[in-house]
């Protein structure tokens, strides 16, 4: 009987590890579900975001800012990525002006990027220094995580050179 329990326990452990390490959501993006364990991804941050289909405005902005090669680079990076719906909150004339002003666009986009890979299990409340130079204000509560005024709506979208956390609002440095 003890041999049966050992085999059963081994099988359950293997199943939990296989299921618990990552799970695919309906949008096909992988998410870490075991604290601090990130599965290896094949696509970089840019390709992962483009493949998700909800970051077309972000991809357009990264191209206009000349940041595609940077975010395809070695990293690691943590990107707080605003969705197309987040960009839609910006009045069209203001968004078009931002997309046309490369210096302002680089400033805004690099404010969404943090050096290093920070998975959700490692997020702590407080300031988080961005590539742009200023800090994001991270708050945590029972309602979730906020970055400045943006809600983090999906976490731990793993890429080969970092991690993406999806946010519902474009954050702007001072």
- Three-class secondary structure assignment of 2-35: HHHHHHHHHHHHHHHHHHHCEEECCCCCEEECCC
CATH code for position 73: 2.30.180.10
Q: Is the pLDDT of residue 169 over 80?
A: yes
pLDDT band per the 50, 70, 90 thresholds, residue 42 = confident
Residue 90 resides in a domain: yes
Residue 172 resides in a domain: no
Residue 174 resides in a domain: no
Q: Which residues contact 154 (CB under 8 A, 6 or more apart)?
A: 25, 29, 31, 165, 166
- Average the pLDDT over 12-32 and give the result: 34
Report the candidate in 73, 8, 38, 40 with the shortest Cα–Cα distance to residue 160.
40
Q: Total structural domains in the chain? A: 1
Most confident of 10-14, 23-27, 141-145: 141-145
Residue 173 resides in a domain: no
Element (H, E) at 86: helix 84-88
130 within 8 A of 112, measured Cβ to Cβ: yes
Residue 80 resides in a domain: yes
Residue 16 resides in a domain: yes
pLDDT band per the 50, 70, 90 thresholds, residue 162 = very high
Give 97-152 pLDDT, tens digit per residue: 999 999 999 999 999 999 999 999 999 999 999 999 999 999 999 999 999 999 99
Give the domain range for residue 106: 2-167
Residue 137 resides in a domain: yes
Give 44-87 pLDDT, tens digit per residue: 999 999 999 999 999 999 999 999 999 999 999 999 999 999 99
**pLDDT for res 41:** 61
**pLDDT for res 13:** 31
Strand blocks (E) in the chain: 22-24, 30-32, 77-82, 113-115, 126-129, 135-141, 144-147, 150-159, 162-167
């Amino acid at each position: 009987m003890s041999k049966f329990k050992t085999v059963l326990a081994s099988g359950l452990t293997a199943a939990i590890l296989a299921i618990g390490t990552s799970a695919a959501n309906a949008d096909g993006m992988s998410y870490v579900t075991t604290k601090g364990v990130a599965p290896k991804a094949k696509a970089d941050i840019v390709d992962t975001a483009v493949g998700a289909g909800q970051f077309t405005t972000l991809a357009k902005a990264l191209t206009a800012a000349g940041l595609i090669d940077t975010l395809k680079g070695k990293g690691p990076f943590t990107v707080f990525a605003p969705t197309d719906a987040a960009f839609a909150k910006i009045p069209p004339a203001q968004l078009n002006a931002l997309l046309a002003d490369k210096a302002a666009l680089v400033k805004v986009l690099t404010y969404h990027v943090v050096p290093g890979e920070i998975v959700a299990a490692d997020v702590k409340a407080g300031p988080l220094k961005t590539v742009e130079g200023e800090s994001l204000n991270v708050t945590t509560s029972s309602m979730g995580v906020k970055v400045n005024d943006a809600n983090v709506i999906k976490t731990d979208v793993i890429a080969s050179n970092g991690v993406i956390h999806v946010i519902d609002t474009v954050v702007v440095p001072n």
